[in-house]
Amino acid sequence: MVLNVGPQHPATHGVLRLRITADGERIVAAEPVVGYMHRGAEKLFEVRDYRQIMVLANRHDWLSAFSNEIGVALTVEAMLGMEVPERATWARTLLVELNRVLNHLMFLGSYPLELGAITPIFYSFREREELQAVMEEVSGGRIHYMFARVGGLRDELPEGWLGHVRQAVAAVRRRLPDLESLLVGNPILRGRTVGVGLLDADTARSFGVSGPIARASGLDLDLRRDEPYLAYGELFGPGGPGRVVTRTAGDCHARLEVLLEQVTVSLDLAERCVDVLEDLPEGPINVRLPKVLRVPEGEHYLATENPLGLNGYYLVSRGDKVPWRLKLRSASFSNVQVLSRLLPGQLVGDMVAILGSTFFVVGDIDK
């Protein structure tokens, strides 16, 4: 029997269609059908100047908006040969890690909801609200921050903001065990996820899977450590709080565990960034740009470790104020393609558990 699941996500995260072939209760073939939300971001990039691109870039993965902005800014800065002020670098790193925690908390609440557990999402949103408050204070936005700029950040950090960040991080860290006990300590959730949706490292590598899903299968890959950008060279260097979280089981539960532990690591990184920023002398938060910003002719590819995996921008410039081509390599696209290998052989009843554990944003798939 051929079943169409969708075109929608079973938990309404967006519009995805799965074409399932089932033999009784067992899935024998699965084909993810994408493109229902396609908004043509890559073509829109070509008719926006380098300031306007930020508005588009932060929207494909709306849970990782600031990380998306930073990827564009770093790519353009690399082609300009621009050196960003140290304060801007550390502030960017802090905001990226706060955004990573916000992303992970969303999935830590919504994934159990897909399995029938209502309570965890209230706990995860309580913690999200702590961090949303400081993100809103600094940028004015709750989802689409539009705070990164080529050369640094849009505005100076508000007075007293670093203290508010420290308080929010401490509050989330203090209450995180409550959420953890509802997840990894829940026998029903364990029964639905342990040994389900096994993804081995070779398959993950061949499909280009990255981020928490790949690391849950034993792929020890994290660009923050392996190809440092922003302030990660120091954070993941000797004496730094950075570490790469991995598991080897490769099942739904391992993917959940990686996400949960990464929240703790990101809180550690955020705290270190606050410490450094408090000790840095006053100085500029951005580079003054010309009225018309033109990028020299050439091409450059740069990838960052976004919350859901590798997010890459391939920029081709002909010396104009708009890109000639800006290709987006989104994490969710590769992470969802592997469902064609994960779902066959599984029970139809486990489909949502596997689907939810790939932690994707549909806009990030369709671009």
Question: What pLDDT was estimated at residue 54?
Answer: 86
Residue 15 has pLDDT above 80, yes or no: no
Q: Which two tokens stand for residue 26?
A: 């067992």
255-290: pLDDT as tens digits: 999 999 999 999 999 999 999 999 999 999 999 999
Nearest 5 degrees, angle CA 95-CA 99-CA 103?
A: 175
Structural contact between residues 257 and 286, judged by C-beta atoms closer than 8 angstroms: no
47-68: pLDDT as tens digits: 999 988 888 888 888 899 999 9
DSSP structure class, residue 157: P
Which carries the bigger pLDDT value, residue 304 or residue 58?
A: 304
Structural contact between residues 285 and 156, judged by C-beta atoms closer than 8 angstroms: yes
Any idea which architecture 2-366 has in CATH? Orthogonal Bundle (1.10)
309-334: pLDDT as tens digits: 999 999 999 999 999 999 999 999 99
Confidence of residue 5 (pLDDT cuts 50, 70, 90): confident
DSSP-H helix ranges across the chain: 41-45, 53-57, 65-80, 86-114, 119-139, 161-183, 187-193, 201-206, 211-215, 223-226, 232-235, 252-279, 331-337, 339-342, 351-356, 362-366
Question: What pLDDT was estimated at residue 344?
Answer: 94
| Domain edges within the chain | 2-366
Confidence of residue 305 (pLDDT cuts 50, 70, 90): very high
Question: What pLDDT was estimated at residue 9?
Answer: 53
Residue type, 168: A
DSSP string, 270-325: HHHHHHHHHHSPS--SSPPPPSS--PPSEEEEEEEEETTEEEEEEEEE-SSSS-SE
Neighbouring residues of 152: CB distance < 8 A, sequence distance ≥ 6: 84, 85, 88, 92, 284, 285, 286, 287
Residue 184 has pLDDT above 90, yes or no: no
What mean pLDDT, rounded, does the chain reach? 93
